[in-house]
């Protein structure tokens, strides 16, 4: 039988996709370490997370360059072109997710070495982290399988993260009278916010999956997202 | 102990607009004003045969006025045959016959009262291999369509200059109009043939792989020309070069085994085609 | 390393052998030609003189035999008329066969008969014209130059047609298509595009037919016969080189025999000239 045509394009695309989705694995690793550092107040682990972000940045550059080269040499169209666009977009999301982990890790030394003022807030934050982790893995699975339904389901998961974010915010408001307590609470709000952004980026990747499959780019959620500051 | 924390991003507000597929009437490149409204071509249930071979099977398609429509598809899919049915050249082949209708605006060119010769003056054709008449000069080649048919009352000098300008060739040959037509380079010869075609002032220009015999630079020049010509003519182009169809055409039609599989805006065809077979062809996955 | 070594000695020997064989064969083929030319020159050149070309044969058995002016003039006249008859007709038939008759049964039949005609012996054409035009007394005097032309034309017709058909077929279809696509009717395409493009080749083919006809004796024996005086009317008997040679060569008078050789040389020279012109014309061809 005749050999399949455009083998090289298919192989290259496959390799780049593996690299990009591998970036999601790197993010999950970073997130795990961040959450552990948050829980145990481990400063060394936090510093490791900050340093290790270089790997994710490096992966971004790799994938970006490979995609540019592919566009120039292979002139992909239709489904291939959509995949390239989606990978570019998703890789940016992955890089941002890495940055958000760094943001969280940076709050840890600043929070001080005293026991946390509010175990409930910490618990919320850690739960947010767990759901965010699930979202990342689900986004990866959906993209790899080109499953638009699974991708859209991310919205449901993300709502939980958003709800927890709002709870952290509420609890932080009642953090306490003294300055140190308030400062600590602010840092927790920032960490929560960073986790909420990670969740959003995972949903973005889900939208890219839907784009690859259907050719239509559509925001999964209608209506406005509640911003920080708007109560719920 | 306050520490300044530099947060990374100021989170941008996400757009609330839902972006759907581009509208089907999107033109390739920046739209140019229509200089001379051309008619549309409507093909209805076209069947074409070479003897016993059924080459075109029930094709129905509309070619929009003042737009470039590309016909793509693998070898033997019938696109060239369809093209030749549009100006009744198919019937010049021994044993060939056609059924169905091809309407130029409201007139069916296969109607019983219709003069074949008049059809071909309204629907011109440019061929794959440049074919200027070897016995004629550049001037005579361009004027051939008028001279051969004994058209009177036309200022030949003016028409020839107009046509050569329209084909982007005037500057290169204005000083040697009496030189033989075959003395030009391949790209120039093809533009000469285009000048010859437009000198007759047709409504539609059919192009059968006009750039396959040309080098890349000559190809690009002809493509630029096509973009300008569509302000005055309706253009139908058959091409093997998908990138060319993508660059040049407003809408693209994909043919396979004698049938029309899909016809959509070029945008659509190359970003999100509807039919699986189109997707496979356009992305180059055969075998 | 084997690909780069020189040819083996055996191969070189075979090469040399074949080359010599081919050269020898060529020489053998050229030998008769050389002999003819040599013989003609040696026998006929002596007869050439100014008078030879400017005086008519006197018809006297004894004394001055005269030149061959009337024969040359007669040949040129009759062949010219024959060409004027057969060339347009031949081109016309060829145009029909190529432009309209690629596949038809009628065209195939025509083509077959044209082929047959190329094989018909020239004497048959002469006899045909003899019976239809001379014996019947059609067109006045029984023997006439123009009747000779008719016979020659019949001879030339299939040759002209065949060569014209070949040349017309060489015109690329792309040119026909281009003209058709401009909205030109088929007959105009044939006349104004195909014909001019093929013209050099057509002329070459016709000139070759002319060269052949100039040398034919048999048709003229029964139609134009022979006469001494130069005539320009072709309405009566007309002299011609082949017939003159035929008549003279059997004579016991040596001068007449020599005149015959001179005339033969003149005829060959005439044909050579015609062929050279044909060659020059074919160089201007658009179909190479």
pLDDT of C105-149, one tens digit each? 898 899 999 999 999 999 999 899 888 888 887 777 678 888 889
Distance of alpha carbon C197 from the chain centroid:
23
At residue B287, the pLDDT reads 59
pLDDT of residue C172 exceeding 90: yes
φ, ψ dihedrals at B208, nearest 5°: -100, 95
Answer yes or no: do B272 and A82 touch at CB < 8 A: yes
Answer yes or no: do C182 and B89 touch at CB < 8 A: no
Please state which of the ranges A114-118, A135-139, C159-163 shows the lowest mean pLDDT: A114-118
Question: Pairing mode, if any, of strands B96-104 and B41-50?
Answer: antiparallel
Distance from CA of C210 to the nearest CA of B (A): 26
What is the three-class DSSP state of B95? coil
Which one of C180, C182, C185 has the shortest CB-CB distance to B144?
C182
pLDDT tens-place string over residues A75-101: 999 999 999 999 999 999 999 999 999
**With contacts defined as CB-CB under 8 Å, which chain B residues touch A80?**
283
At residue B23, the pLDDT reads 41
pLDDT tens-place string over residues C64-120: 788 888 888 888 989 999 999 999 999 999 999 998 877 788 988 999 999 999 999
Distances (CA, A) of B40 to B58, B64, B106, B194: 19, 5, 9, 20
At residue A112, the pLDDT reads 65
At residue A229, the pLDDT reads 41
At residue B13, the pLDDT reads 39
pLDDT of residue C24 exceeding 50: yes
Please state which of the ranges A113-117, B181-185, C207-211, C221-225 shows the lowest mean pLDDT: A113-117
At residue A63, the pLDDT reads 97
What is the average pLDDT across A122-150? Answer: 95
**With contacts defined as CB-CB under 8 Å, which chain B residues touch C174?**
127, 129, 131
Chains touching chain B through at least 3 C-beta pairs below 8 angstroms are A, C
At residue C251, the pLDDT reads 84
Instruction: Using pLDDT thresholds of 50, 70 and 90, give the confidence band for residue C198.
Output: very high
> When comparing pLDDT for C228 and A152, which is higher?
A152
Q: Which helix (H) or strand (E) holds B63?
A: strand B53-63
At residue A12, the pLDDT reads 94
pLDDT of residue C235 exceeding 90: no
ipTM comes to: 0.85
Which one of B2, B20, B279 has the shortest CB-CB distance to A216?
B20
pTM of the predicted model, to two decimals?
0.82
At residue C159, the pLDDT reads 94
Rounded to whole angstroms, the Cα distance separating C203 from A214 reads: 69
pLDDT of residue C219 exceeding 90: no
At residue C51, the pLDDT reads 83
**With contacts defined as CB-CB under 8 Å, which chain B residues touch A218?**
18-20
What is the three-class DSSP state of C234? coil
Rounded to whole angstroms, the Cα distance separating A201 from A207 reads: 10
Instruction: Using pLDDT thresholds of 50, 70 and 90, give the confidence band for residue A115.
Output: low
Instruction: Using pLDDT thresholds of 50, 70 and 90, give the confidence band for residue C209.
Output: very high
Rounded to whole angstroms, the Cα distance separating B189 from B181 reads: 7
The DSSP call for residue C131 is I
**With contacts defined as CB-CB under 8 Å, which chain B residues touch C183?**
117-121, 145, 149, 200
Identify which of B90, B50, B84, B42 has the alpha carbon closest to the alpha carbon of residue B263.
B42
Suggest the residue from B7, B272, B276 to mutate for an interface test with chain A (most A CBs closer than 10 A). B272
Helix ranges (H only) for A75-178 are 78-110, 119-145, 148-173
Q: Which helix (H) or strand (E) holds C230?
A: none
Instruction: Using pLDDT thresholds of 50, 70 and 90, give the confidence band for residue C196.
Output: very high
At residue A222, the pLDDT reads 57
Locate C222 and state its tokens: 């029964």
What is the average pLDDT across B223-240? Answer: 94
End-to-end CA distance of chain A: 63
pLDDT tens-place string over residues B88-114: 999 988 889 999 999 998 899 999 999
Portion of chain A with pLDDT greater than 70, in percent: 91
Distance from CA of C7 to the nearest CA of B (A): 41
Classify residue C7 as exposed, middle or buried by CB count within 10 Å of its CB (0-12, 13-18, 19+): exposed
Instruction: Using pLDDT thresholds of 50, 70 and 90, give the confidence band for residue B16.
Output: very low
Identify which of A118, A211, A212, A130 has the alpha carbon closest to the alpha carbon of residue A164.
A130
At residue A13, the pLDDT reads 95
**With contacts defined as CB-CB under 8 Å, which chain C residues touch B196?**
178, 182
pLDDT of residue A163 exceeding 70: yes
Answer yes or no: do A216 and B16 touch at CB < 8 A: no
Instruction: Using pLDDT thresholds of 50, 70 and 90, give the confidence band for residue B18.
Output: very low
Answer yes or no: do B270 and A197 touch at CB < 8 A: no
At residue C103, the pLDDT reads 75
Instruction: Using pLDDT thresholds of 50, 70 and 90, give the confidence band for residue B3.
Output: very low
What is the average pLDDT across B224-245? Answer: 94
pLDDT of residue B10 exceeding 60: no
């Amino acid at each position: 039988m005749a050999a399949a045509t455009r083998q090289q394009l298919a192989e290259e695309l496959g390799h780049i996709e593996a690299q990009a989705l591998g970036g999601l694995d790197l993010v999950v690793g970073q997130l795990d370490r961040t959450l552990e550092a948050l829980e145990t107040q481990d400063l060394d682990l936090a510093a490791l997370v900050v340093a290790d972000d270089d790997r994710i940045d490096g992966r971004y550059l790799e994938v970006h360059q490979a995609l540019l080269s592919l566009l120039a040499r292979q002139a992909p169209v239709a489904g291939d072109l959509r995949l390239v666009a989606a990978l570019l977009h998703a890789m940016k999301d992955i890089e941002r997710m890495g940055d958000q982990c760094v943001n969280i890790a940076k709050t840890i030394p600043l929070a001080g070495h005293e026991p946390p003022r509010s175990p409930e807030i910490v618990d919320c934050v850690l739960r947010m982290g767990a759901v965010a982790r699930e979202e990342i893995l689900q986004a990866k699975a959906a993209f790899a399988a080109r499953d638009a339904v699974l991708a859209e389901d991310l919205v449901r998961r993300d709502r939980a993260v958003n709800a927890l974010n709002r709870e952290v915010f509420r609890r932080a408001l009642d953090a306490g009278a003294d300055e140190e307590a308030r400062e600590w609470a602010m840092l927790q709000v920032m960490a929560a916010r960073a986790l909420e952004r990670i969740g959003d980026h995972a949903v973005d990747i889900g939208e890219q999956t839907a784009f690859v499959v259907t050719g239509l780019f559509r925001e999964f959620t209608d209506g406005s997202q509640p911003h920080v500051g708007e109560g719920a | 102990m306050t520490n300044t924390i530099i947060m990374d991003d100021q989170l941008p507000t996400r757009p609330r607009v839902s972006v759907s597929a581009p509208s089907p009437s999107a033109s390739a490149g920046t739209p140019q004003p229509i200089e001379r409204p051309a008619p549309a071509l409507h093909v209805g249930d076209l069947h074409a045969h070479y003897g016993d071979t059924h080459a075109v099977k029930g094709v129905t398609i509309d070619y929009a006025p003042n737009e470039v429509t590309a016909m793509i598809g693998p070898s033997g899919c019938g696109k060239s045959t369809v093209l030749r049915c549009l100006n009744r050249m198919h019937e010049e082949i021994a044993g060939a016959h056609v059924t169905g209708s091809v309407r130029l605006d409201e007139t069916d060119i296969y109607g019983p009262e219709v003069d074949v010769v008049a059809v071909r003056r309204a629907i011109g054709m440019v061929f794959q291999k440049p074919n200027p008449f070897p016995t004629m000069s550049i001037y005579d080649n361009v004027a051939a369509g008028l001279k051969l048919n004994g058209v009177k009352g036309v200022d030949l000098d003016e028409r020839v200059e107009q046509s050569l300008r329209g084909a982007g060739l005037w500057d290169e040959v204005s000083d040697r109009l009496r030189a033989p037509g075959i003395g030009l380079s391949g790209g120039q010869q093809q533009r000469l043939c285009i000048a010859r075609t437009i000198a007759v002032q047709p409504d539609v220009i059919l192009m059968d792989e006009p750039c396959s015999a040309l080098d890349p630079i000559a190809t690009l020049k002809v493509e630029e020309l096509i973009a300008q010509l569509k302000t005055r003519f309706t253009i139908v182009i058959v091409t093997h070069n998908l990138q060319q169809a993508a660059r040049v055409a407003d809408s693209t039609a994909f043919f396979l085994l004698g049938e029309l599989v899909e016809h959509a805006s070029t945008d659509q065809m190359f970003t999100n085609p509807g039919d699986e077979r189109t997707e496979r062809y356009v992305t180059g996955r055969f075998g | 390393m084997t690909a780069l070594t020189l040819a083996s000695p055996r191969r070189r020997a075979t090469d040399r052998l074949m080359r010599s064989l081919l050269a020898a064969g060529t020489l053998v083929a050229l030998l008769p030609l050389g002999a003819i030319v040599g013989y003609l020159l040696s026998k006929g050149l002596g007869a050439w003189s100014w008078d030879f070309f400017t005086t008519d044969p006197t018809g006297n058995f004894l004394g001055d035999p005269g030149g061959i002016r009337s024969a040359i003039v007669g040949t040129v006249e009759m062949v010219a008329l024959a060409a004027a008859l057969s060339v347009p007709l031949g081109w016309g038939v060829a145009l029909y066969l190529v432009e309209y008759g690629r596949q038809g049964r009628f065209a195939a039949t025509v083509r077959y008969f044209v082929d047959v005609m190329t094989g018909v012996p020239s004497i048959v054409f002469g006899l045909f014209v003899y019976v239809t035009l001379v014996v019947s007394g059609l067109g006045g005097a029984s023997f006439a130059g123009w009747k000779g032309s008719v016979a020659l034309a019949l001879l030339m017709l299939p040759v002209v047609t065949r060569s014209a058909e070949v040349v017309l077929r060489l015109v690329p279809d792309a040119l026909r298509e281009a003209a058709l696509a401009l909205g030109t009717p088929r007959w105009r395409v044939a006349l104004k595009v195909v014909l001019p493009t093929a013209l050099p080749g057509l002329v070459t083919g016709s000139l070759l037919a002319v060269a052949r006809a100039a040398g034919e004796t048999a048709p003229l024996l029964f139609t134009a016969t022979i006469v001494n005086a130069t005539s320009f009317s072709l309405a009566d008997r007309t002299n011609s080189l082949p017939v003159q040679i035929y008549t003279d060569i059997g004579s016991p008078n040596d001068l007449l025999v020599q005149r015959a050789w001179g005339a033969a040389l003149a005829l060959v020279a005439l044909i050579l000239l015609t062929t050279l012109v044909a060659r020059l014309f074919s160089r201007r061809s658009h179909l190479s």
